[in-house]
Amino acid sequence: MKKNRALWRRTGAMAAIGVAAVAIWRYEAATPAQAASSGTPVATAGTQSGAADTFGTGVGAATPGPEERRLDVDALRRSLAGRPDADAEVKRVVAFARFRDEVAAYGDRRNSLPPTERDALARRILDELPDHVARNEIVPVQAEALSAALLTDTEADPATRGAAIRSMRAQWDTYAQRTVGPSPAQDPRYLSYEQQSRDVVRQVQASIPDPDQQQAVIAQRLQALRVELFDGASPSGVH
């Protein structure tokens, strides 16, 4: 149980690192139409309706989660005034906030849930994940980390779980190559950021017990690291 809890927390932190690293990488993100034509991986699990409502998240939930509560929808509508896609954009932003609430709720309460409810919410997240990647809200490296953590929970048989994770990683790697392009690993700054950011996560998790405080400190230290490594011109030969 402790091992699984630690795995989930590490996965969330490492996913944040991956998102920041790829965001630093200068590329033109695919449009939703391009993402769809590139074959965004589709979760094989069936959607289990109502699972997110257990947590007060998701469509039809009585109580919005913290990410949704933080949204100023009126201000968002004003900022989008005049755009033909304003309503669709508001719905997209709200839907993504609810998705983040689902993921956070799962991570916080997964160990206290009945197995059937935990499995239903995990599969719901897996089902919704490709749509958020296709809309450029989540990058493939983050989707891969999140999918691996969820599959670790939902597949009890080690052989089945291993095969599912390998298949999922192959799909996301293929998708990333089609939509994002070559790996940024040729940039030495990326390699340095990857190593140092993992060290930051380990140090903070070892010294700060509260998960919320961990995330805040990790975010601050990673931002400082990005400024240190990536401010200024790219090295010659790296594009």
Element (H, E) at 212: helix 211-230
Tell me, what DSSP letter sits at residue 236?
Answer: T
CA dihedral 73, 75, 79, 82 (to 10 degrees): 70
Q: How far apart are CA 126 and CA 148, in angstroms?
A: 10
The pLDDT of residue 203 is above 80: yes
pTM (predicted TM-score): 0.56
pLDDT at residue 139 in the model: 78
* Residues 1-29, mean pLDDT to the nearest whole number: 45
Query: pLDDT per residue over 26-46, tens digit each?
Result: 233 333 444 444 455 654 433
pLDDT band at 186; cut points 50, 70, 90: low
Proportion of the chain above pLDDT 90, given as a percent: 16
The pLDDT of residue 10 is above 70: no
pLDDT at residue 214 in the model: 81
SS3 string, 10-35, reads HHHHHHHHHHHHHHHCCCCCCCHHHH
Of residues 175 and 72, more confidence is placed in 72
